[in-house]
Chain A
């Protein structure tokens, strides 16, 4: 019998090479972003993981923390078509999708042509997305999920890769429209941008108040991002790890047998299957970054907070008691055992 360690080496070597290539591009992108965006290493890593997972990200933080700068920098590091949409209350769906415009033909006569809106791009920065009305916010639903837009009777595919990075401010609620649940569910992660550390303040001031401002060079292309996404999806998931992710998602649902008492008391709606998809996709990215070829339960736990925090809809009691979704996700992580035999 052949030694199991020597058989199938060619395939394993190819997988290792792909994983190393993935890590190399990932680290290059991360390095370029950190030339401009100081600190928040975990945040940057998760945002890049979202890019590699074919998802969308929602950045939430108070003004002045660099949410828009982070998204702009990421777009600059990729040679992609970039669009920035500043969401305002009077923004209409046609303003972002595009509309039919009457054109005069050269030979005479008129025709209707589709004028693309800023949504037709690879990288969309939806700045202050909660300032637009739900009507305009809903115009993003089809684009974010199906990667296409429908104008009139025509459906047009959006260019690939397509990623939406939206920002919103958690404190200014006047004149804002909270994102509908269907819209929130389409974001793979919700990332909270916090204040930088003291040392990071020094670095920020050094870089931004001098004569020369740091610049970002494009280090990857759209085609390479698409190839890396295929690598990510090639990472296998063992049944027990998949079961753990499923149990985690089910534990956020108050009617589930896995739900802890905190969830039963304070949650109205739990995560959808999109949450489980997000757990596995981001877990695959983390496995590759960790030099492994399969997802582990620890990978699932590491990404549970950004993936599940915006998919937990608090009940009236939860709002009244001041429960935070992050605490509920942590309670779920503590309640659900990792061992498949312990359920």
Chain B
């Protein structure tokens, strides 16, 4: 018999699998390209987000669009190339194995792994009769399925997702360009990426700075700001429109108003907005600004009073003082009382936690609340001290809270899931107590009598009616039942009650 040659089987199997292997390789490369495209799309999205945020940040902060972002497209291109090469090259350079091609071919043809098994057995050790039969069987299958396309896994990249990511990236980038273009009215156009030419310093923005953004104290002259506010108040009293521009503010005042670095105040910015733009450097400034902005409100008669109050508050305040300056030696108590609420609100907006605590415990000399009561020192003079603290001093003091020893401490800490899923909890039990007066129960009442009299009234217990024949039967039964209690029962003629007799075995 000719010995079995597994290498010949293996060679022919590979010949049959060549087309399938090539097809798998091509599809693998195509999948890798798609995956790379998706990665590049995500990368573009990331860059677009970064670009948009950077543009918004620069527009808000007034930072000049320097040439730092001009290399943005180059960075993106370099990253995209790196990602593309890293995703496609390894797949393109590595051809799929013969076994993978055989498995995919078997899977596509529902071939019960005949070809892959034959290939694996051909390259393995000793070949039993069944292994030889399996190899020949697989070889026959491979010859039949030469033109069969192998099974391929569905592509992991969805074209819809790829399009979506790409569209979002483009939209974000266009939005970033739009932000720059909208804020650069009258300035020079940027390059194609919107970052080419610097737009210069002091670009005004339409968005007012945040009230919490305090201006730099070095650039603010509080007295000058107060003078400007007082002038604005005077104009308001004189009946000028709210949007009127102050005549000629000194450069220092203009610098003080530009809290965010914007040296040129916009014509649309009112005096109120100006004061708001200066932040909270001085409450007097804000008060003056409020007084100046008051003519726009219906309460016109209040404006002089507010302006006067602002002037009084502002006069002794040193520049830059924000907290301690409120206790002005010349300020009146009534003014301080009236403005105290507003100041508390502003302070609470700045430091909410501290104000809450102070408001909760300090009651201005009134009796403290019960909930603020602190626990009295312990009388335990032991030397043990708290378990996780230093040893006790024997002088008492607060002790750690006592650990529970009740039923709750015996409950297991293991979370036990409920077997009844979706059952609504019973809720809290509500107990309603009502005062109800005593109500007499209906029914007859037996009158108490002396026991010795034996003359009880008829009990109110209802007795069933017994018919004549049934009464006779019951009477006979009861008489026969109790006949044993009376002597001479045989003579009385009552029916006998037979008793069981023990029978003895012969």
Contact = CB atoms under 8 A, between A and B. Distances in A.
A292 B114 contact: yes
Contact of B134 (A239, A240, A293, A341): A293
B169 interface: no
A179 to B, nearest CB: 24
A295 to B, nearest CB: 8
A246 interface: no
A221 B95 CA distance: 53
Interface string A269-302: 0000000000000000001001011111111000
Given A15-B130, A15-B132, A234-B129, A294 B113 contact: yes
Contacts of B132: 8, 11-12, 15
Contacts of B136: 4-5, 8, 12
Contacts of B117: 236, 238, 240-241, 294-296
Interface residues of B, number: 44
Contacts of B213: none
A295 B114 CA distance: 9
B4 A236 contact: no
B284 to A, nearest CB: 64
B417 A341 contact: no
Interface in B104-123: 104, 106-107, 110, 112-114, 116-118, 120-121
B34 to A, nearest CB: 17
B355 interface: no
A290 B111 CA distance: 12
Contacts of B1: 8, 10
A243 to B, nearest CB: 10
B74 interface: no
Report the contact-size class of chain A (Cβ under 8 Å from the partner): 35 or more
Contacts of B124: 239
A301 B369 CA distance: 74
Given A238-B116, A240-B116, A338-B107, A294 B5 contact: no
Contact of B100 (A15, A18, A235, A341): A341
B413 interface: no
Contacts of A317: 417
A338 B5 CA distance: 29
Contacts of A6: 2
A4 B129 contact: no
Interface string B64-86: 00000000000000000000000
A239 B122 CA distance: 12
B12 interface: yes
A2 B5 CA distance: 8
A320 interface: yes
B112 A234 contact: no
Contact of A15 (B110, B118, B133): B133
Contacts of B130: 15, 18-19, 234-236, 293-294
13 contacts: A1-B8, A4-B136, A4-B139, A7-B2, A8-B3, A8-B132, A11-B128, A234-B129, A234-B130, A235-B130, A294-B114, A294-B137, A320-B417
Q: Nearest 4 A-B pairs (CB), nearest first? A: A8-B4, A296-B112, A238-B117, A294-B134
